[in-house]
Every structure is written in structure tokens, then in C-alpha cells.
């Protein structure tokens, strides 16, 4: 019933998005294309496709060969303008996802800026000593003011776009026809094995074009780790199934995490908050009450890496909460041997475009 009420609003939203995209297609609205390598990672649905883990994957394969920088707007931060992220920044200053990336890769430049054109320009053409070879744009598929060299679109295996509709009745940010702008489509959150017929169905569902490449990834869970350094480093949750777990999440979808933890726990209770939720001291009381109701003497609070960044910002956290809080790392894994092909494609793109730009720059300098 609610969907029926929302359909007229989806129609209005769709008309606005259609004309916006047409203005860019017709070059009435200006889009900037940088000579240096720029890769965009994004989706056309609201949340939950794994943008940050895929951005981290790109960082991991490129950082040893090139000077890598990531740029996002810093969703829900309280600051404005261009800002470099430090490991001891707060989510109020830079947002949770950029802070998570910086803590994983301290040697990599991580920045936030709501003006992506300005942000990319500063990262690529700012200080010559620290300028990046490659900028990875996080959550930028709809940001058409920049035309990236490679546009990566993420699609959730479990949420077929073909069956979805535009906001607010559905989850689509824009019509499925806009998937044509992607150079690469990655189907995320896949089961470990996919049959050839399932692959063909997915190709049909995303309207794959001849010029597009398609890859499949699954989520790989690491071992839980303490959010605060003085916690017990490695509880034996993976050795004996005698722990109770309270899962606390403020993300778009937590079903996969809960299913994973149930393999190692007697009981997994869950407290779900909205995506990017800003926890308060009152919420900590609610969490601790729920935690204390768990029956086992051995029990833990487990959260996501993104949520952990927000919990770190809360002052006056009770000691029991600090000592009980662990985060679950995740990363992406390409199915079969697709990762090798994808990695080489990214490395070749950055290497070739970096070399072309350097050569072009030297020629221009010799003329002056």
C-alpha cells in the first residue's frame, strides 16, 4: 500500500533525474575529464553494495606501485571544504568511511571534499611533492561533474535491479538505463560458486553492453579484532562455540554478518540502527542492557569497522563496553581467477595514463 502511495513521487523524481542526465549527455552541463588516472566506484541503488570494501581493494592492489589517493564527500561530517584525513581524525570531521580507509592504509592519502572537481584537482595537481598518481572516487557514479577514466558500478547479487524501482518507492537512485555509463560492472555479495547459467542471467539483468566488462565478488570475513587497543586480542570464539554475541550495526544491510557470526556463536542477538547512525550515550545504555541479558558468561559485542569509527568518537564510554567491543573486518574476493584479470586491468590503466600524462607534461614544459 505504501509503495502505491509513493509511486507518483518516484515518477517526479525520475523525470528530474532523466533531464539532469540528458543535460550532461548533451554537454549542456559541463563535465571535467582529468588527464591523470581517475577511477570511480559507485552504485545506482541506496546503500549496501559494498562500495568501501571495493575501494579498499583497489587501494590494496595499487598502493605499492603508485601514489594513491581516495576522495569522498565525507557523508554526515560536520565540516565543509577540502580536508585531508588523519588516523586520529574524528567522524565528525571527515565521516566514518574515509576514516576507516585511512586507518587501514595509513600510508595512503585520504581526503574529503563535497566539490569533487576541486578535490581531485588538489590531489592530482596540488603540492608536487605529495600529489597523487591516481585518485579513487568513492560513491561517485551519480557525480557527473567528473568523467572518470574508469567508471565501476557495483550491483548487489541479492537485489536484482531489474525488479527494483526509483526512489522513494524503491531503492534506485536513477534508472537502470544509466548503467550504460559504466565501464565495469561488479556483481557483489555473490555466493562462493556461481553456475554459468547464473552468470548469463546476471548479464541479462544488468543489460550488459559489448563494451562493458563484468566481474563477480563475494565477501570474505576476517577475524574479529578489538576496537580499543587494551582489549583481549584474540578471544577463542573461532575455536569453541560457547560465546554469545550482541551484533550492533548502523549499516544498510547486516544479514550477511549475522549469518557469518552464527557459525561461531551459541546465540547472536542483534541491535540494528539506521545507516551511518550517530550513537549517543543513551544508545550505549540500551546496548549494555541488551548485552547484559545474554545468558553465557562468555559474551562479546561485535560491530562493523564503519560503526567502530563512530563508537571511537563517544566520550566517557563505560569500561565494560570498551572491553567487550570488537569489530569484524571484511574484504572482497573475486570469484575464480577474475581477480587477476581485474588487477592487471587496473594496474595497466593507471600505469599507461600516468606515463602518457608525464610525457605530455614534459613536452609542454620543453616548449616554454
Cα 223 from Cα 329, distance rounded (Å):
7
Nearest to 300 by CA among 321, 280, 318: 321
pLDDT at 3: 78
pLDDT at 287: 97
Residue 366: is its pLDDT beyond 70? no
Average pLDDT in the 31-36 region? 95
Average pLDDT in the 251-275 region? 93
Cα 254 from Cα 52, distance rounded (Å):
15
**50 and 154 in contact (C-beta within 8 Å)?**
yes
Query: What's the pLDDT tens digit per position in 92-125?
Result: 999 999 999 999 999 999 999 999 999 999 999 9
Cα 18 from Cα 231, distance rounded (Å):
51
Residue 367: is its pLDDT beyond 60? no
pTM here is: 0.93
- The DSSP line for 39-99 is EEEEESBSS-S-HHHHHHHHHHHHTTTS-EEEEE--TT-S--S-EE--TT--HHHH-HHHH
Is there a common fold for 27-220+333-352 and 225-328? yes
Cα 349 from Cα 139, distance rounded (Å):
20
**Fold adopted by 27-220+333-352:** Rossmann fold (3.40.50)
Query: What's the pLDDT tens digit per position in 139-185?
Result: 999 999 999 999 999 999 998 888 899 999 999 999 999 999 999 99
Residue 357: is its pLDDT beyond 90? no
Query: What's the pLDDT tens digit per position in 41-98?
Result: 999 998 789 999 999 999 999 999 999 999 999 999 999 999 999 999 999 999 999 9
The mean predicted confidence, pLDDT, of the chain is 92
Q: What is the CATH number of domain 225-328?
A: 3.40.50
Beta carbons within 10 angstroms of residue 65's beta carbon: 13
Q: What residue spans define the domains of the chain?
A: 27-220+333-352, 225-328
**98 and 85 in contact (C-beta within 8 Å)?**
yes
Amino acid at each position: 500500500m505504501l509503495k502505491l502511495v509513493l509511486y507518483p513521487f518516484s515518477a517526479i523524481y525520475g523525470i528530474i533525474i532523466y533531464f539532469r542526465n540528458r543535460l550532461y549527455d548533451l554537454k549542456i552541463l559541463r563535465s571535467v575529464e582529468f588527464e591523470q588516472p581517475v577511477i570511480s566506484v559507485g552504485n545506482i541503488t541506496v546503500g549496501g553494495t559494498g562500495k568501501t570494501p571495493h575501494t579498499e581493494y583497489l587501494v590494496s592492489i595499487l598502493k605499492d606501485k603508485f601514489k594513491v589517493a581516495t576522495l569522498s564527500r565525507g557523508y554526515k561530517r560536520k565540516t565543509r571544504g577540502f580536508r585531508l584525513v588523519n588516523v586520529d581524525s574524528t567522524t565528525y570531521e571527515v565521516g566514518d568511511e574515509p576514516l576507516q580507509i585511512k586507518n587501514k592504509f595509513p600510508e595512503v592519502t585520504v581526503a574529503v571534499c563535497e566539490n569533487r572537481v576541486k578535490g581531485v584537482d588538489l590531489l592530482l595537481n596540488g603540492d608536487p611533492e605529495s600529489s597523487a598518481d591516481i585518485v579513487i572516487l568513492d560513491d561517485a557514479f551519480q557525480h557527473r561533474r567528473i568523467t572518470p577514466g574508469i567508471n565501476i558500478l557495483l550491483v548487489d547479487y541479492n537485489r536484482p535491479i531489474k525488479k527494483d524501482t526509483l526512489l522513494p518507492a524503491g531503492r534506485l537512485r536513477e534508472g537502470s538505463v544509466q548503467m550504460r555509463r559504466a565501464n565495469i560492472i561488479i556483481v557483489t555479495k555473490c555466493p562462493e560458486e556461481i553456475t554459468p547459467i547464473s552468470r548469463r542471467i546476471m548479464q541479462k539483468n544488468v543489460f550488459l553492453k559489448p563494451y562493458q566488462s563484468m566481474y563477480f565478488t563475494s565477501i570474505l570475513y576476517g577475524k574479529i579484532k578489538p576496537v580499543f587497543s587494551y582489549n583481549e586480542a584474540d578471544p577463542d570464539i573461532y575455536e569453541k562455540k560457547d560465546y554469545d554475541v550482541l551484533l550492533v550495526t548502523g549499516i544498510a544491510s547486516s544479514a550477511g554478518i549475522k549469518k557469518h557470526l552464527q557459525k561461531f556463536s551459541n546465540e547472536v542477538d542483534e541491535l540494528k540502527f539506521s545507516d551511518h547512525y550517530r550513537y549517543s550515550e543513551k544508545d550505549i545504555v540500551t546496548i549494555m542492557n541488551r548485552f547484559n541479558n545474554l545468558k553465557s558468561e562468555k559474551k562479546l559485542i561485535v560491530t562493523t569497522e564503519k560503526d567502530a569509527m563512530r563508537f571511537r568518537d563517544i566520550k566517557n564510554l563505560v569500561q565494560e563496553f570498551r572491553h567487550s567491543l570488537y569489530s569484524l573486518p571484511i574484504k572482497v574476493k573475486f570469484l575464480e581467477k577474475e581477480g587477476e584479470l581485474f588487477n592487471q586491468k587496473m594496474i595497466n590503466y593507471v600505469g599507461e595514463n600516468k606515463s602518457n600524462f608525464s610525457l605530455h607534461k614534459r613536452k609542454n614544459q620543453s616548449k616554454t
